[in-house]
Amino acid sequence: MNHKYDAIIVGGGVMGGSIAYYLAKRGRKVLLLEKDQLASKSSGAAAGMLGAQAELEGDSPLFPLAKRSREMFPHLSKELKEVSGVDIEFINKGMFKVALSNEEKSALKNIMDIQRNAGEEAEWVSTEELLKVEPFLSKEIKGGMYIRKDGQVSAPQLSKAFFQSAAVLGAEIKEFTAVHSFIFEKKKAIGVETDDGNFYGENIIAANGAWSRHLLQKSGLELVVYPVKGECFFVKTDKPLLEKTIFSHGCYLVPKSGGRILVGATVKTHTFDRKVSLDGIATLMEKAKELLPVIAEAQWEKAWAGTRPQTGDGLPYIGEHPEYHGLFIATGHFRNGILLSPITGELTADLVERKIVPELDRFNLNRSLQPIVS
């Protein structure tokens, strides 16, 4: 069999883009196939927070990977700009994870202690200290945890930068090309069947987010991957209302370029529906006003929804198919796929190159699946 590609990637989200970039950078001949438009699903909808400490607690198995990925961004932002000219809008001003009740305050202080014991930087700020930095926040906030290293990027720009950089380095990218199934020869994956004919490669990587379960069923693999809808909206203000990202239980406010604030995000499990609901936006508006009362006067810009890929035990799947050699999977990054995209791309490229990657053992495809409470 004359293989045309070293790697065929299924899915044009941030994960597919990152894997394509890291493989192309190593001189591999890459084809990426996306059924719709690039980054039109979860990756284009994300808020872009790099919330290693805001989203994960110190004892999560994902924490070491998340921290490593976060550390890649300062260099990566320069590298992607040099290769593609695309600015991922990396901002490294930190985040406040705030408490709105005394219960939340003690829970946050607990998390802070765990993280500090694990050697992470985190600092408690009182309401007064918080208001000195962010004078428009509500005085009702009971202080918060300052996380200096949790920055942010523009999620659509990051995806774009990965695709364009991969393309500059020789990757071929085809939009509107749905992969229907894999082609196997004995116990080896050798290609994919698509709308546009068959393509052949030495390695196939399924990075198709919340849609992976259905495709992988065709290889006899039953992974618990399911969609979780999230809605967000943008408002615009004449003068900046926030310096740093404000993260709270059920709502975050992310200051973006052009005087915008991104407000997110709702959580609705087991639906691929991406319609924006009045109820979802109204709930977010109420929570946003609770944190930042003056946001009520901001100018409305737009709302959207995306589909996060969640797994049965809340951890991503990154590894090789247990039965078919050369078929890899990288999916299930739920709320942290933007943060985890560089490390996933780099380590998946290592797997494809047959390197031993012990950091990924915990995320292999054979692990026993414990249902999470959602």
- Which residues of the shown chain bind ligand FAD in the complex (CB under 6 A)? 10-16, 33-36, 40-43, 45-49, 178-179, 207-211, 215, 230, 232, 264-265, 306-309, 331, 333-339
Q: Which residues are CB-neighbours of 139 under 8 A, at least 6 positions away?
A: 127, 131
CA distances from 56 to 136, 138, 150, 162, 355 (A): 27, 25, 11, 25, 28
Smallest CA-to-CA distance from 317 within 305, 333, 301 is with 333
> With left for phi above 0 and alpha for psi between -120 and 50, is residue 80 left, alpha or beta?
alpha
Name which of 142 and 249 has its Cβ closer to ligand FAD: 249
Name which of 105 and 207 has its Cβ closer to ligand FAD: 207
Name which of 81 and 274 has its Cβ closer to ligand FAD: 274
Smallest gap from residue 342 Cβ to ligand FAD (A):
11
Name which of 115 and 177 has its Cβ closer to ligand FAD: 177
Residue 328 near residue 4, CB atoms below 8 Å: no
CA-CA distance, 177 to 160, in Å (whole number)?
18
Smallest gap from residue 229 Cβ to ligand FAD (A):
7
Q: Is 101 helix (H, G, I), strand (E, B) or coil?
A: coil
Smallest gap from residue 346 Cβ to ligand FAD (A):
15
Smallest gap from residue 323 Cβ to ligand FAD (A):
20
Name which of 146 and 233 has its Cβ closer to ligand FAD: 233
Name which of 91 and 105 has its Cβ closer to ligand FAD: 91
Q: Which residues are CB-neighbours of 263 under 8 A, at least 6 positions away?
A: 232, 233, 234, 235, 251, 252, 253, 254, 284, 285, 288, 295
Smallest gap from residue 173 Cβ to ligand FAD (A):
11
Smallest gap from residue 366 Cβ to ligand FAD (A):
20
